[in-house]
Amino acid sequence: MNLAAATPDDAPAMASVHAQAFDTPWDESDFEGLLESQGIFGFLVSDEDPAGVLICRAVGGEAEILTVGVAPWARRRGVGLALMTAAIGAARVAGAGEMFLEVDVDNGGAVALYEGLGFVRTGLRKGYYDRGAAGRADALVMRLDLTSAAH
């Protein structure tokens, strides 16, 4: 597994992984714009092919995971954990004292990943995700204390 800090040149690879991981993916220009923005950083994991992506914002002492996704063929091999661990380290270096993320309440795999890293549930956003014909789904808000967590 090769994990590297992402640059705007990685936008095509990141968009290709995102399209495999999400029903409503971000495109190349989304990634390019984000990676050119102040306070935003990302990581890309590649195997033979791009396998996992993460984008994080760290501003004013707070970090937020904006997206993390792993291609289905690369899951359950530690890629998501490696991306999150890298983001936690980089957020600390950027001076963040806490990290937040939102996750679909029904996304048990992602919640397990985050809880394993020490994230705790701090809130619920009712109807946060639009699932089209399936209606709306609630989002859990999760927080990690970066000043005391061991990761």
Ligand X SMILES: CC(C)(COP(=O)(O)OP(=O)(O)OC[C@H]1O[C@@H](n2cnc3c(N)ncnc32)[C@H](O)[C@@H]1OP(=O)(O)O)[C@@H](O)C(=O)NCCC(=O)NCCS
- Residues near ligand X (CB under 6 A): 21-22, 68-70, 75-81, 103, 107-110, 112-113, 116
- Minimum CB separation of residue 75 from ligand X in Å reads 3
| 68 versus 144: smaller Cβ distance to ligand X | 68
CA pair distance 2, 12, nearest whole angstrom: 17
| 132 versus 147: smaller Cβ distance to ligand X | 132
* Helix, strand or coil, per DSSP, at residue 45: strand
| 89 versus 95: smaller Cβ distance to ligand X | 89
- Minimum CB separation of residue 143 from ligand X in Å reads 14
- Minimum CB separation of residue 45 from ligand X in Å reads 8
- Minimum CB separation of residue 28 from ligand X in Å reads 19
Let me know: does 142 contact 122? Beta carbons within 8 Å.
yes
Instruction: Name the strands in the sheet holding 136-145, side by side, starting at the edge strand that comes first in the sequence.
Output: 2-5, 40-46, 50-59, 62-70, 98-104, 136-145, 120-130
| 16 versus 107: smaller Cβ distance to ligand X | 107
| 50 versus 69: smaller Cβ distance to ligand X | 69
Q: How far is CA 63 from the centre of its chain?
A: 11
- Minimum CB separation of residue 62 from ligand X in Å reads 17
| Angle CA 96–19–68, to nearest 5 | 20
Q: Which of 56, 37, 43 is nearest to 17 (CA)?
A: 43
